[in-house]
Amino acid sequence: MADYVSPDFLKLDDTQFSDEEIAVRESVRDWVSKEFMPRIQEHVRQDGSFPMELSEPMAELGMFGANLQGYGCAGMNNVAYGLLMQELERGDSGLRSFASVQGSLCMYPIHAYGSDEQKDRWLPDMAAGRAIGCFGLTEPDAGSFVTGMATKAEKKGGGWVLNGVKRWITNGSVARLAIVWAKTEDGVRGFIVETDRPGFEARDIKGKFSLRASVTSELYLTDVEVPDANLLPGAKGLSGPLGCLNQARYGIAWGVMGAAMACYDEALQYVKEREVQGGPLASKQLTQHKLVEMITEITKAQVLALQVGRLKDEGKLHHTMVSMIKRNNVDIALRCARDARDLLGANGIVDDYQSMRHMMNLETVRTYEGTHDIHTLILGEHVTGMRAL
Ligand SMILES: Cc1cc2nc3c(=O)[nH]c(=O)nc-3n(C[C@H](O)[C@H](O)[C@H](O)COP(=O)(O)OP(=O)(O)OC[C@H]3O[C@@H](n4cnc5c(N)ncnc54)[C@H](O)[C@@H]3O)c2cc1C
């Protein structure tokens, strides 16, 4: 296949993005092509493996906590950050997830809710890729309905004792610290749990069809003791984890466009080369219909994400806007990936091509960080003022 050509139907590059934003995108795009793409096939074939050697190079390019200020973070605006996520997911949703979990789900809560000591202790190491984090919210019996969580933290002397099981935790077994959300007498609180503490165990989940180039684990906490200094002082109640999820969902809405654009580009190139019934597949009406649907939805998603990014930079973001772009952009990306796979015919089912890999990854992205249905319910309540039963 020829080199990747990203679609820009409405000329956003000429009219909407600054030179700095384009420079971030181009440097990440180049890095993904040179450093990540040659590795992806091998890691997808080994279920649950991520190229950990890329952690420090990613850090050097400012990919961890890129929209946070200070502590060695890149401090870029939210549009540049979105473009960064887009380019990572053009490679693979597992690559974007690695950066999202580190930045939005682990560095962000320390940055937003942590003490000065916690920030000084962890953020520089996390920005530099020396300490990888994981985020433990979901449990075997509490996914969408997180208030049903069973993990408990009980006060004991100058610290806390944690017990519970977290499931589906990205980076669980490669993390040096876990942000663990647990019920206390004062409601849900967040704790920094070093993963070498006695009683902490991470076991990887195997057999995934989706996000294969990503580590997904179960965390077992059995009488894990942490000092008071490990409690995140600024996070009280569910607004703590939901604040983190809002950051991550924003990045996902940009990221999935990268996957959609990769699939569109792959399909477009393929159908121009593929001969059927005496002519290129690209010359057939049904093919053109699929491609037109794809580029139209990608273009609409680009504009949605850009507008929400500008509002986020201006401090005018509402979490329902993030629900809308996460819900819409994942949905259209998944449909683009399915159509691209279809256009590739039998070739589309082997890993020499990427559309089916993106398609399978996007099934996870549709489920995590608030399922498609949950964002529908959030938006439905927002527009009607009534919580659906
Ligand atoms: C690869 C992977 C990585 C992940 N990484 C992390 C991580 O790092 N940290 C973490 O904490 N979690 C992580 N998750 C978990 C993810 O956030 C949850 O899977 C998600 O919240 C959905 O929960 P669930 O799987 O229990 O599904 P459920 O909540 O059981 O939902 C099942 C179905 O029911 C629907 N549903 C739920 N409630 C309603 C309702 N009220 N009305 C109608 N329909 C409803 C859902 O939309 C869905 O279709 C990850 C998941 C995957 C697959």
Q: Work out which ligand 1 atom sits closest to the CA atom of 208.
A: 1
Ligand 1 centroid distance, CA of 367 (Å): 5
| Residues 213 and 94 sit within 8 Å (Cβ to Cβ) | yes
Mutate to test the pocket of ligand 1, among 363, 368, 387 (most ligand atoms within 8 A of CB): 368
- Classify strands 133-136 and 177-184 as parallel, antiparallel or unpaired: parallel
Ligand 1 within 6 A of CB of 135: yes
Distance between CA atoms of 238 and 234, rounded to whole angstroms?
12
Residue with the smallest CA separation from ligand 1 atom 27 is 143
Tell how far the Cα of 143 is from the centroid of ligand 1, in angstroms.
Answer: 5
Strands, E, within 228-311: which ranges? 231-236, 275-276, 279-280
Q: What gap in Å lies between CA 24 and CA 32, rounded to an integer?
A: 12
Is residue 279 exposed (0-12), middle (13-18) or buried (19+ Cβ within 10 Å)?
Answer: exposed
State the helix-helix crossing angle for 319-343 and 285-313, rounded to 10 degrees: 160
378 lines ligand 1 (CB under 6 A): no
- Whether 54 contacts 61, CB under 8 Å: no
Ligand 1 atom 44, closest CA: 373
Closest to 108 measured CA to CA, from 98, 95, 123: 123
Based on DSSP, count helices (H) and strands (E) in the chain, helices before strands.
Answer: 13, 10
Q: What is the pLDDT of residue 388?
A: 95
Residue nearest to atom 45 of ligand 1 (CA): 373
What is the three-class DSSP state of 277?
coil
Instruction: Identify the bridge partners of residue 155 per DSSP, sorted by sequence position.
Output: 160
Instruction: Return the structure tokens found at 155.
Output: 């006060």
Return the closest-CA partner of residue 101 out of 68, 72, 132.
132
Nearest CA to ligand 1 atom 30: 143
Looking from the CA of residue 171, the nearest atom of ligand 1 is: 8
CA–CA gap between residue 264 and residue 155 (Å, rounded): 53
Q: Is the CB of 360 under 6 A from ligand 1?
A: no
Judge if the beta carbon of residue 140 lies within 6 A of ligand 1: no
Region label for 90, one of left (φ > 0), alpha (ψ between -120 and 50) or beta (otherwise): alpha
First to last CA, the chain: 50
Closest C-alpha to ligand 1, atom 53? 364
The one-letter code for the residue type at 143 is G
Number of neighbouring beta carbons within 10 Å of residue 315: 6
Quick one: which H or E segment has residue 31?
helix 19-31
CB 185 within 8 Å of CB 155:
yes
pLDDT at 2: 74
Amino acid at 209: F
Tens-binned pLDDT, residue by residue, of the chain (389 aa): 678 999 999 999 999 999 999 999 999 999 999 999 999 999 999 998 999 999 999 999 999 999 999 999 999 999 999 999 999 999 999 999 999 999 999 999 999 999 999 999 999 999 999 999 999 999 999 999 999 999 999 999 999 999 999 999 999 999 999 999 999 999 999 999 999 999 999 999 999 999 999 999 999 999 999 999 999 999 999 999 999 999 999 999 999 999 999 999 999 999 999 999 999 999 999 999 999 999 999 999 999 999 999 999 999 999 999 999 999 999 999 999 999 999 999 999 999 999 999 999 999 999 999 999 999 999 999 999 999 98
222 closest CA partner among 163, 179, 181: 163
Q: Could you tell me where the beta strands, DSSP code E, fall in 279-348?
A: 279-280
In the beta sheet, which residues pair with residue 221? Answer: 164, 200
In the residue annotation, 266 being an active-site residue is answered as no
- Beta-carbon contacts of 91 under 8 Å, excluding residues fewer than 6 positions away, are 32, 36, 37, 40, 258
Catalytic hit among 21, 87, 89, 369:
369
User: What's the chain's Rg over C-alpha atoms?
Assistant: 21
Contact status, residue 179 vs residue 105, Cβ threshold 8 Å: yes
Question: Hunting for tokens 């509002």 — which residue is that?
Answer: 311
- Which protein residue's CA is at the shortest distance from atom 9 of ligand 1? 169
How many residues are there in the chain?
A: 389
Q: What pLDDT score was predicted for residue 356? A: 98
User: Which atom from ligand 1 is nearest to the alpha carbon of 138?
Assistant: 11
Measured distance CA(88)–CA(225) in Å, rounded: 36
Task: Establish whether residue 141 lines the binding site of ligand 1, counting it when its CB lies within 6 angstroms of any ligand atom.
Answer: no
